């Protein structure tokens, strides 16, 4: 499998938005934490999180290609099929059957949701947010509309309650708060 350093070079060569880079770093952290919690391969799951939006800047105006272009970009890279399948599943280009596919589908929107929760509290950091705050914001349909609630709630498909999923995701992001600038 390619190294994290090689994956980061791909990220830096293909992503120019600092927020997008922070999103994939956060998704990497959440996926790694989920893998650990679920007894799965942390390196594989983290890599899926890191690379899942590699094509975003190329496909944002042609979203039908999102995911497919990433798999194409990774075609000659030494990566397990599970990573490519997870990338396709996160954007609904593949049915979610494997645990990694279900996990990344839920993990993708939760990172933006958590960032939005931090940003509404001026001067706030990830360390200032707790699960109760997140659960209250989750109930507010007008809050972070881009964070698909059904997608986050699909964490039930990996055997987690929403509360446990939010807690694990928040802790994972708190561990890399410096990288996220939060």
pLDDT at 121: 83
Nearest to 100 by CA among 148, 141, 44, 140: 44
pLDDT tens digits for range 112-169 = 999 999 999 878 899 999 999 999 999 998 999 999 999 999 999 999 999 999 999 9
pLDDT tens digits for range 5-62 = 999 999 999 999 999 999 999 999 999 999 999 999 999 999 999 999 999 999 999 9
d(CA 101, CA 12): 25
At which residue do the structure tokens 């390619």 appear? 2
| Cα atoms in the Cβ-side hemisphere of radius 13 Å centred on 156 | 5
Mean pLDDT of 102-115: 97
Domains and CATH numbers, the chain: 4-180 (1.10.3210)
Give the confidence band of 67 by pLDDT, cuts at 50, 70, 90: very high
pLDDT at 124: 85
CB atoms within 10 A of CB 82: 18
Q: Which tokens belong to 55?
A: 């094509």
Q: Which tokens belong to 36?
A: 């650990």
Mean pLDDT of 56-69: 94
d(CA 36, CA 18): 27
d(CA 35, CA 43): 9
pLDDT at 84: 97
User: CA geometry: angle at 29 spanning 17 and 87, to 5°?
Assistant: 70
């Amino acid at each position: 499998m390619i190294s994290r350093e090689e994956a980061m070079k791909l990220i830096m060569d293909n992503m120019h938005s600092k927020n997008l880079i922070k999103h994939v770093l956060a998704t990497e952290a959440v996926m790694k934490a989920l893998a650990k919690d679920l007894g799965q391969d942390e390196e594989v799951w983290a890599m899926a999180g890191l690379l899942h939006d590699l094509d975003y800047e190329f496909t944002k105006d042609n979203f039908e290609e999102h995911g497919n272009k990433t798999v194409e970009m990774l075609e000659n890279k030494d990566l397990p099929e599970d990573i490519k399948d997870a990338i396709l599943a996160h954007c609904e280009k593949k049915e979610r059957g494997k645990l990694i596919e279900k996990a990344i589908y839920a993990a993708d929107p939760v990172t933006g949701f958590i960032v939005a929760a931090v940003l509404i509290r001026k001067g706030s950091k990830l360390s200032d947010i707790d699960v109760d705050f997140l659960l209250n914001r989750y109930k507010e349909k007008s809050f972070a509309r881009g964070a698909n609630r059904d997608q986050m709630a699909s964490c039930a498909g990996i055997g987690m309650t929403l509360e446990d999923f939010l807690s694990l995701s928040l802790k994972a992001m708190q561990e890399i708060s410096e990288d996220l600038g939060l």
